[in-house]
A and B are shown apart, each in its own frame.
Chain A
Amino acid sequence: MSDYAVEANKSEGSLKEEYLSLGRAKLVEMYRTMVLIRRFEEAAAKAYSMQKIGGFLHLYIGQEAVAVGSVAAIREDDYLITAYRDHGHAIARGTDPKILMAELFGKYTGSSKGKGGSMHFFDVVRNMLGGHAIVGAQIPLGTGIAFKSKYRKEDRICLTYMGDAAMNQGAFHEALNLAALWKLPVVYIVENNLYGMGTAVDRASAVTDLYKRGCSYGIEGMVADGMNVFAVYDAVKEAAKKARELSLPTLLEIRTYRYRGHSMSDPDSVYRTKHEVEEEKRRDPIEQMKKFLLSGKIATQKEIDAVDEDVKKLAAECVEFAENSPEPPLESMYDDIYV
């Protein structure tokens, strides 16, 4: 068990009654979205193994509470931008999972018409601005999106997600300096899943309390348990408020865990033990949420079962939709290069 797991266990008690104020429907919806992300990705993994999906497929399984908790804490007109492990963010933002699965299949009905694939999900209507595959390169973009809010005197913030490894890129440091210097309404969310591909955080970062790394820019750091959707929600709510009302950036480290390898081709046994993975799964975010719904009598077992069944069906429908969708016409490769 990692050090983080110990800290996180302490926060399990934070599944408190105050979250009831979110309302029953919203709470069930959050649960449903987490389950949908997982079932969607399980279906994608299966399709990948059947070679229906190509390239890289980076699964979010285990990290669902981060996307769902953070998106629940912002407004619809706020922006978000993330790296290549982006399925959860798009689904949490409400993108039709059918067009996302079609994108994974490279089909013309996909969110990027088959040109983006797994690492490049975009839903501009919902202010989900990608899906970016060069580690850390989305951090200046998110900073620029926040710059626009300030320039236009709008109170829309930008959640800029990254993995723990992205913090070692120059882009991270340049962007944080600019955000602090120009007081931009951005929340940097580091999804610390303990590994940058196969390299553990303590082998990559000289400081392993990652939230502390904003201090050289005068950016306040916060840390939250990413296996607990409400802990994520609380932390993002607070950071978002500071961004919105004071136009100040925050560096929020969310400690989470990915159950699967870095990508589908990752032999994760070379850098972590099966025991570690099993230990982390004991804090599963979906199970925690389910327990909360049941113990708080927000939903009955029967209702939970219905949600699970419904989502399972939807994931299957996504695959069916993707399978039956047309290939992009060859000439479409020339589309959308210039306006």
Chain B
Amino acid sequence: MPEITFREAINQALAEEMERDDSIFIVGEEVAKYQGAYKVTQGLLQRFGEDRVIDAPISEGGFTGLGVGAAMVGLRPIVEVMTFNFSLVAIDQIINNAAKMRHMSGGQLKVPMVIRGPNGPAHQLAATHSQALESIYAHIPGLKVVVPGTPKDAKGLLKSAIRDDNPVIFMESEVMYGLKGEVPEGEYTIPLGRTDVKREGKDVTIIAYGKTVNLAMKAAESLAAEGIDAEIVDPMTVRPLDDGPIINSVKKTNRCVIVSEAWPFASVASEIGFRVSSKAFDYLDAPVELVTAEDVPMPYNKNLEHNALPTLEKLMNAARRALYKK
């Protein structure tokens, strides 16, 4: 299998789907002439033309709402937000319009659109530009929320997201765009709402998604050196959450650590923790551990920033605690 970057994987998914279906268009800031603020849409303007790859003014509420309207009447918009921090300016359109349209219309309408872009902390961008917002969107019935952790997953999941008839929040990461991974040649998709076991192990279940999948894989290697065999479980889609493989894994290992870059309060991590506690209660040999962002706005200082995030050390300590090992 060829190795390509996360960025290229997403670009391929966009291009392949646009080739297949002319109802798909991309709108966002710097997506066309500039070739993408993070070069994710590179070459798409040249290939598909300015009617389908559209530079928008800095007007997230406007162009996200325009996307919702276009989706209501049959187009399949892909709205790129330069980062999900800016999606907060459009959150009324996402939560009140995209997510609820089908329900409020009694099933008369559907909103097949993807809102995608980087999410989560980047490097020293401070509080407004460095935050993981998936828990906010995962809270909302009517939305699907996808947070891929590898190039292969990103491509397969994005193709499914584009073909999905519901509004899908698709969260990438600035700091992952250059990450390389094996991606199958040719056409493939990965269905939304399916949890993947990224590494098999018998001693402790580490649940990770998005950027923390790589952190968890590193932790597993280091834990192996200590004789701890970790299983890495990646939900990939955090809403709807396929908790079956998570519960099965915990039933096998009897220990559960959840690692996420989002804040801990009312989060995807706490939701998974709740489900594990309620569905695998009798199997747990230790309390569920959460390794999340610290419950603080992101500080600018490099050292503070590093320590505000889940780190390898924090994750390994949590795994050891779950096993009552120092």
B110 and A339 contact, CB distance less than 8 A: yes
**CB-CB under 8 A for A130 and B65, given A141-B97, A174-B59, A177-B57:** no
How many B residues are at the interface, by size bracket?
35 or more
Please provide the chain B residues from 61 to 87 with a CB less than 8 Å away from any CB of chain A in the complex. Answer: 61-75, 77
Please provide the chain B residues from 93 to 134 with a CB less than 8 Å away from any CB of chain A in the complex. Answer: 93, 96-97, 101-110, 112
Nearest opposing residue in chain A for B101, CB measure: A130
C-alpha gap A124/B96 in the complex (Å):
19
B51 and A142 contact, CB distance less than 8 A: no
Chain A residues within 8 Å of B107, by CB: 113, 335-336
Interface presence of A147 (CB below 8 A): yes
B63, B65, B106, B142 pick with most chain A CB within 10 angstroms:
B106
C-alpha gap A111/B105 in the complex (Å):
7
Nearest opposing residue in chain A for B143, CB measure: A338
A141 and B65 contact, CB distance less than 8 A: yes
Nearest opposing residue in chain A for B69, CB measure: A144
Interface presence of A137 (CB below 8 A): yes
Q: Quick one: CB contact mask for B262-275 with A, threshold 8 Å, 1 for yes?
A: 00000000000000
Partner of A147, one of B70, B97, B106: B70
User: Interface of chain B, helix or strand or loop or mixed?
Assistant: mixed
Partner of A137, one of B57, B63, B96: B96
B105 and A130 contact, CB distance less than 8 A: yes
A110, A120, A148, A177 pick with most chain B CB within 10 angstroms:
A148
Chain A residues within 8 Å of B65, by CB: 137, 139-141, 143-144, 171, 174-175
User: Which residue numbers of A lie inside 8 Å of B, CB to CB?
Assistant: 79, 81, 110-116, 120, 122-124, 129-132, 134, 137, 139-148, 151-152, 170-171, 174-175, 177-178, 181-182, 335-339
Task: Give 29 A-B contacts (CB < 8 Å), ordered by A residue.
Answer: A79-B73, A81-B69, A110-B106, A112-B104, A112-B105, A122-B104, A122-B106, A122-B109, A123-B108, A124-B108, A130-B104, A130-B105, A137-B93, A140-B63, A140-B66, A140-B68, A141-B72, A144-B66, A144-B67, A144-B71, A145-B69, A146-B69, A151-B25, A151-B70, A175-B65, A178-B63, A338-B102, A339-B112, A339-B164
User: Which residue numbers of B lie inside 8 Å of A, CB to CB?
Assistant: 25, 51, 54, 56-57, 59, 61-75, 77, 92-93, 96-97, 101-110, 112, 141-142, 144, 164-166, 240
